[in-house]
Amino acid sequence: MVDYHAANQPYQYGPSSAGNGAGGGGSMGDYMAQEDDWDRDLLLDPAWEKQQRKTFTAWCNSHLRKAGTQIENIDEDFRDGLKLMLLLEVISGERLPKPERGKMRVHKINNVNKALDFIASKGVKLVSIGAEEIVDGNAKMTLGMIWTIILRFAIQDISVEETSAKEGLLLWCQRKTAPYKNVNVQNFHISWKDGLAFNALIHRHRPELIEYDKLRKDDPVTNLNNAFEVAEKYLDIPKMLDAEDIVGTLRPDEKAIMTYVSCFYHAFSGAQKAETAANRICKVLAVNQENEHLMEDYERLASDLLEWIRRTIPWLEDRVPQKTIQEMQQKLEDFRDYRRVHKPPKVQEKCQLEINFNTLQTKLRLSNRPAFMPSEGRMVSDINNCWQHLEQAEKGYEEWLLNEIRRLERLDHLAEKFRQKASIHEAWTDGKEAMLKHRDYETATLSDIKALIRKHEAFESDLAAHQDRVEQIAAIAQELNELDYYDSHNVNTRCQKICDQWDALGSLTHSRREALEKTEKQLETIDQLHLEYAKRAAPFNNWMESAMEDLQDMFIVHTIEEIEGLISAHDQFKSTLPDADREREAILAIHKEAQRIAESNHIKLSGSNPYTTVTPQIINSKWEKVQQLVPKRDHALLEEQSKQQSNEHLRRQFASQANIVGPWIQTKMEEIGRISIEMNGTLEDQLSHLKQYERSIVDYKPNLDLLEQQHQLIQEALIFDNKHTNYTMEHIRVGWEQLLTTIARTINEVENQILTRDAKGISQEQMQEFRASFNHFDKDHGGALGPEEFKACLISLGYDVENDRQGDAEFNRIMSVVDPNHSGLVTFQAFIDFMSRETTDTDTADQVIASFKVLAGDKNFITAEELRRELPPDQAEYCIARMAPYQGPDAAPGALDYKSFSTALYGESDL
């Protein structure tokens, strides 16, 4: 219960809690503490009392006439409390308790107490004003009570730029009269004495009612009467002051002036509200239009990038092998061209797309809009998935190309080896079938028969020696088939022919041996010397043929160790040549000995050894061929050794550069992570430093290009491994792309922080305090805080989230804001978004709806004509194109639904 009888207390007015009237009220305590000077020592200035009586009476009547009544004497007509209660009902729009109709003093006191109780219920603290004083007609108390009512219901809710009450009303007057000469409103007393300020207020809002340029500063009475009469006649503001009283008073009563001026404020507040509402709507629409443009740009860029990825992946997944190394190397060159020319711009586009998406989401959060959801299939995650598929296809394609080139290289080597061995074997078998089919033994002498048997034994020995070559030919053909050699048909045909011929030779050899053995009993003599020659000459001849075959054998190596192994084997072969030469001389000595014996015994030989076709001339010819092939083999091996040494140089050259570039990229990645955590100076300083850092990274690109050139030389040399470095070109490329993406994202994070700071009005000191607090508790420098770390951070900033019931509830509320997906981590961006929302105000859907309602004249709908009248043309058409027709029961033709439009701007449902 309010104490209306506190003894010996000066009259005070101030809210004990937030008011229940329109606008919720502002803080009036400090203001009213200064305003209490007017009735110090319980005395009233006579001139002020007169002005207050007239002004307060007129103000009360301006409201009471709505109820069909009025007062004549302010300290007499409120004594029974009836008109006082009626006045409060009119100005508040609320019903008071039923008054008592009795004429006794107790009835009057009860009625006045009901009125005072109602005033107290509106958060007004009344001191030294009691019902008895009002009933007794105490002029001072009655005027104080009416002034309290005027303050609470006519002035308190006036707010301009977050000021309130007297300051707000004064600021409004100053703004409205600023363009007018001879007007300087500094207070609510002397500034109004010449009447120009009253006329300026009217002219500013209704210029057709006042001819301001004809007014003179030295004629205040005329000026005041002109303003009072125009206000009463055209603005329905009753005359509350007398011009002569104002001019004749050294300092007009401030409360009387404030009361009168507040009537002007309320008379013109509709226009002010419309202007404010229009400005708010324009601001909201401008933000929405800009966000829509950013969304369209994102959709277009995302579509283009996805289309490029979808076109590229089938090309990378096309694994149809070619028949030749040259065709496959052209595919490899096309792939290198894709890597060098086509892919890098798309990497930049992907990075820019992520930056645009993050910037757009930040702007939407800052403008209190719902998050942007790209159309289906165009999310950043969708693009990352497609990009990952692309890189998987890319990696698989490169591996397939290199493996296919190796396969074709091996196929060519095997095919050439097959042709060489097949040619040697076919040359050896030439005429052998005819020889085995010859029936010369039927007419031969005994010695001839013995010779034929020995010759056949030598042939069988030779035939057995060639068995390995036939098996090698078949094995090579089988391997060519397994490796899918493109000319396998001809290889198989030739191999089958050799195998069939070999089977035929075996059968013919067996048949001829049986025939010779059958007649062997009839043969006795044999030239042992010729036989020994034949037996030793045949394997030696076969050894020379194998040696020539080995010396002409093609080889393929990939490392310096492999070629050095071949050189070592070749040196070992050369070390056996002296022994072979001695064997050759021993064989030739046998032949010479046979000739010497024949000559010494006058024996006439037939001219050739009957047991072998390997003559000394053949042996010498083949030996000479071996001697010629050895240096050629030396040259080929040395040439290959030089090539492998060159390849080793390329490996070391690439490794040297890669071992510099790789750690450099890794170091820069670590430095960027440290910079993003240990940012010093203003955000602009940090942004400038990061952009300089980004330029230094871009300037390093020539080192990467040099590495690409060295890598191309390695691939052109068909080098497939490098033991001198753990870095591959693929690792370097991925690291470089990650480095560029990381610095770009870090720069974008700082830009978003600047955007957040500027949009939310966060000071540099606040931003530094937020960053310092966040980094202090981010112990692992991971860029995110766990729940306990985040709670400690909040406590350091003054939040009451200790481990009690109320603190836990508050902490859970905050966590639902900063971690809506319940990931258990709070990022710095989410942290500053939360702090900015805690410290600043943002537009809401309800505010926009209220603004549209002002433009619509309190209707539940608005028309296109009203929108075009109140808003700029482009924003008016923007609203008209997007507002749905209004479907309410009070709908008029052409009515538009501004409520559902406003809620849609903020992603809310139209409740």
Please name the residue that has the structure tokens 């497939």: 720
Task: Single out the residue in 412, 428, 463 at which a domain terminates.
Answer: 412
CA distance 168 to 131: 32
Please answer whether residues 610 and 448 qualify as being in contact, where contact means their C-beta atoms are separated by less than 8 angstroms.
Answer: yes
| CATH number assigned to the domain comprising residue 863 | 1.10.238.10
**What is the pLDDT at residue 840?**
58
Tens digit of each residue's pLDDT (9 = 90 or more) over 371-394: 888 988 888 888 899 999 988 988
Angle, helix 729-760 to helix 683-699, in steps of 10 degrees: 160
Q: Are residues 680 and 819 in the same domain?
A: yes
Q: Are residues 323 and 357 in the same domain?
A: yes
Q: Are residues 698 and 747 in the same domain?
A: yes
Note whether residue 901 is domain-resident.
yes
Tens digit of each residue's pLDDT (9 = 90 or more) over 65-100: 888 999 999 888 889 998 899 999 988 889 999 999
CA distance 777 to 791: 10
Note whether residue 802 is domain-resident.
yes
Mean pLDDT confidence for 409-421: 82
User: From residue 561, how far is each of 469, 566, 568, 718 by CA, in Å?
Assistant: 28, 9, 10, 16
Tell me which amino acid residue 499 is.
C
854-889 burial: b if 16+ Cβ within 10 Å, else e: bbbeebbbbbeebbeebbeeebbebbbeebeebeee
**What is the pLDDT at residue 444?**
57
Of the pLDDT bands very low, low, confident and very high (cuts 50, 70, 90), residue 446 is low
**What is the pLDDT at residue 186?**
93
Mean pLDDT confidence for 135-150: 88
Q: Are residues 742 and 812 in the same domain?
A: yes
Please name the residue that has the structure tokens 């937030």: 18
**What is the pLDDT at residue 892?**
86
CA distance 306 to 300: 10
Note whether residue 851 is domain-resident.
yes
**What is the pLDDT at residue 218?**
92
**What is the pLDDT at residue 602?**
55
Share above pLDDT 70 across residues of the chain, in percent, rounded to a whole number: 88
Angle, helix 139-150 to helix 46-64, in steps of 10 degrees: 50
Each as own residue / partner, the long-range contacts of residues 338-345 (CB below 8 Å, 24 or more positions apart, any chain) are 338/312, 339/733, 340/708, 342/312
Tell me which amino acid residue 17 is.
S
Q: Are residues 855 and 730 in the same domain?
A: no
Note whether residue 880 is domain-resident.
yes
Tens digit of each residue's pLDDT (9 = 90 or more) over 176-203: 898 898 899 999 999 999 999 999 999 9
Mean pLDDT confidence for 414-431: 85
Give the chain's length: 911
Helix or strand holding residue 585 (H, E): helix 577-600
Res. 4: pLDDT tops 70 = no
**What is the pLDDT at residue 209?**
92
Of the pLDDT bands very low, low, confident and very high (cuts 50, 70, 90), residue 221 is very high
- Distance of alpha carbon 98 from the chain centroid: 67
Res. 40: pLDDT tops 60 = no
| Residue 38: both structure tokens together | 């007017």
CA distance 164 to 285: 29
Res. 403: pLDDT tops 80 = yes
- The per-residue pLDDT of the chain, averaged, comes to 81
Bridge partners, 124 (sequence order): 15
Count of C-beta atoms within a 10 Å radius of residue 767:
20
Could you say which DSSP state residue 65 is in?
G
Res. 767: pLDDT tops 90 = no
Res. 295: pLDDT tops 80 = yes
Q: Are residues 740 and 814 in the same domain?
A: yes
**What is the pLDDT at residue 160?**
63
Task: Single out the residue in 780, 802, 836 at which a domain terminates.
Answer: 836
Note whether residue 516 is domain-resident.
no
**What is the pLDDT at residue 908?**
58
Res. 842: pLDDT tops 50 = yes
Res. 22: pLDDT tops 50 = no
**What is the pLDDT at residue 15?**
31
Q: Are residues 763 and 816 in the same domain?
A: yes
Each as own residue / partner, the long-range contacts of residues 155-159 (CB below 8 Å, 24 or more positions apart, any chain) are 155/258, 155/259, 155/262, 156/15, 156/19, 156/21, 156/25, 156/26, 156/28, 157/19, 157/21, 157/22, 157/23, 157/24, 157/25, 157/26, 158/262, 158/265, 159/23, 159/26
Res. 146: pLDDT tops 80 = yes
Mean pLDDT confidence for 558-562: 81
Mean pLDDT confidence for 432-455: 76
- The full DSSP string for 649-671 is HHHHHHHHHHHHHHHHHHHHHHH
**What is the pLDDT at residue 35?**
38
Q: Are residues 813 and 873 in the same domain?
A: no
**What is the pLDDT at residue 226?**
94
| CATH number assigned to the domain comprising residue 719 | 1.20.58.60
Note whether residue 888 is domain-resident.
yes
Helix or strand holding residue 826 (H, E): strand 826-827
Reduce the DSSP state of residue 102 to 3 states and report it: coil
**What is the pLDDT at residue 30?**
37
Reduce the DSSP state of residue 124 to 3 states and report it: strand
Of the pLDDT bands very low, low, confident and very high (cuts 50, 70, 90), residue 823 is confident
**What is the pLDDT at residue 879?**
92
Of the pLDDT bands very low, low, confident and very high (cuts 50, 70, 90), residue 223 is very high
Between 304 and 911, the higher pLDDT residue: 304
Closest CA to 472 of 495, 504, 456: 495
Reduce the DSSP state of residue 841 to 3 states and report it: coil
**What is the pLDDT at residue 485?**
79
Note whether residue 856 is domain-resident.
yes
**What is the pLDDT at residue 272?**
64
Q: Are residues 676 and 814 in the same domain?
A: yes
Given phi > 0 = left and psi -120 to 50 = alpha, else beta, which region is 48? alpha
**What is the pLDDT at residue 695?**
92
Q: Are residues 822 and 875 in the same domain?
A: no
Q: Are residues 352 and 381 in the same domain?
A: yes
| Residue 430: both structure tokens together | 């030439």
Bridge partners, 896 (sequence order): 862, 885
Res. 12: pLDDT tops 60 = no
Number of domains in the chain: 3
Mean pLDDT confidence for 747-776: 77
**What is the pLDDT at residue 18?**
31
Res. 302: pLDDT tops 60 = yes
Between 8 and 512, the higher pLDDT residue: 512
Angle, helix 560-575 to helix 577-600, in steps of 10 degrees: 30
User: From residue 595, how far is each of 97, 446, 539, 760 by CA, in Å?
Assistant: 158, 22, 22, 118
**What is the pLDDT at residue 518?**
67
Contacts of 598 (CB under 8 A, 6+ apart): 604, 605
Please answer whether residues 461 and 538 qualify as being in contact, where contact means their C-beta atoms are separated by less than 8 angstroms.
Answer: yes
**What is the pLDDT at residue 57?**
92
Note whether residue 703 is domain-resident.
yes
Contacts of 683 (CB under 8 A, 6+ apart): 750, 753, 754, 757, 764, 767
Q: Where in the sequence is the domain holding 357, given as residue range(s)?
A: 279-412
Q: Are residues 314 and 361 in the same domain?
A: yes
- The full DSSP string for 706-754 is HHHHHHHHHHHTT----TT-S--HHHHHHHHHHHHHHHHHHHHHHHHHH
Share above pLDDT 90 across residues of the chain, in percent, rounded to a whole number: 15
Task: Single out the residue in 412, 430, 463 at which a domain terminates.
Answer: 412
Note the helical H segments in 430-487: 432-437, 446-465, 467-482
Res. 19: pLDDT tops 70 = no
**What is the pLDDT at residue 911?**
35
Reduce the DSSP state of residue 679 to 3 states and report it: coil
Between 601 and 631, the higher pLDDT residue: 631
